[in-house]
Amino acid sequence: MDPAPEWAGTSADPNDEQFGHVVERTALDSVSGYDAVLVGEPYDGAVVGRPGARDGPAAIRDALAGVKTRHFEAGSVGNVGDAGDVRLARGAVRDVQASLRETTAGLYDAGALPVFLGGDNSLTYPNVVPLVESARADGERVGVVSLDAHLDCREVHDGEPTSGTPYRQLHEVGLETLCVVGARHFETTGAYADYLDERGGTVVTAESVSAGIDATLDRIRTATADADSLYLSVDVDVLDAAAAPGVSAPTPGGLTSRELFALVRGVAADERVRGFEVVECAPSLDPTPTGRTAATAARAVAHFFAGVAA
C-alpha cells in the first residue's frame, strides 16, 4: 500500500468540522478500529469507455476533505480511517485483478468495512470475490446492489476482462444475487438483459426510481432478501450526465444527486453491508470548473458513512 495523504480541513471557520479534520491515516493492521476505511484503487486500464478514472481516488479525497461531517438525522460522522492506495500489479487486467484480490481479502479478514475509491469497474470483481468465496464456504450468499447505468455483464473475450465484465466474472465464481439500480433504457443490449434475467437478477431502471426512494429501497430489500451479506457499488455514471459529466460513459436520463445520496444512505443502513465502492469517477473528463463529478462522488461516500452510523 502507498501511504494515505495527510488530511486537513479547508475552512477558516473554527466551528466547521470537515472530513479533513476527522479522517485518520491508518495501516492495514489497524483497520478494524474504524467504522469504515478508505482504500484508493487508482487504475483504469480496463475501461471500455474513456480513461481517466485512475485519478478518481485523489480527486474524491480532495473533495471529501472539505465536506462537513454533520448529517441532520445521523449526527456527526467520524471514526473513518484511510489506508492509502493499493499498489496494483502491472500487466494484463487479470494480473491486476489477482493482485488486488489478495489485498481486499486481507482487508475483510482484518475486520474492515472497506470504502474503495476507484478506479474503473473491472475492480469490482477483486473487491467482491473474497466475500463470495467466503460466503460459499460457509453455505451463505452475497448480494450485490449495483447503482449503475449499465449491467456490466459482458462476456470476457480472449481471456481479458474489462470494466464491462465484473458481474459475469462474479457469477462464474458463485455470485447469486445481483440488483442493478439506475439502468437506462437503450443502454444495454438484449443479450445482456436476458443473461441477467436468466441468472435471477433484478433491474430497477432509472425511470422506476422516480416512483420514490422508499419504494426503490423496498425493491432492493426484496431482491436481496436471500443474501446473508451485501456489497454496494456506485458507478458514478448512474447519475444523469448533467450531474456527473466526468465519467467514462456519461448518459442522459439518470438519477439525480439527491436520489443517489438517499439510496446509498438507505442501503448502507442495512447491517448486512460488508463493503462499498465508488468507481468510474474521471476528474480529467469533467468540464465543470468546480469538479462537479468528484464533489458528488465524495458526498456519496459521506452519505454511506451516515447510513452506517444510523
CA distance 234 to 118: 10
pLDDT value of position 310: 83
| Reported confidence tier of residue 267, pLDDT bands at 50, 70, 90 | very high
Q: Is the pLDDT of residue 269 over 90?
A: yes
pLDDT value of position 49: 86
| Reported confidence tier of residue 279, pLDDT bands at 50, 70, 90 | very high
Of all residues in the chain, what percent carry a pLDDT higher than 70? 100
| Reported confidence tier of residue 1, pLDDT bands at 50, 70, 90 | very high
pLDDT value of position 12: 94
pLDDT digits over 206-256, tens only? Answer: 999 999 999 999 999 999 999 999 999 999 999 999 999 999 999 999 999
| Reported confidence tier of residue 285, pLDDT bands at 50, 70, 90 | very high
Copy the grid coordinates of residue 62: 480532495
pLDDT digits over 192-201, tens only? Answer: 999 999 999 9
pLDDT value of position 159: 87
The reply to whether CATH 3.40.800.10 applies to domain 19-140+230-309 is yes
pLDDT digits over 3-54, tens only? Answer: 999 999 999 999 999 999 999 999 988 999 999 999 999 999 999 889 999 9
Q: Is the pLDDT of residue 112 over 90?
A: yes
Among residues 262, 255, 246, the alpha carbon closest in space to that of 304 is found at: 262
Q: Specify which residues 145 forms β-bridges with.
A: 179, 232
Q: Quickly tell me which residue has 438517499 as its cell.
A: 262
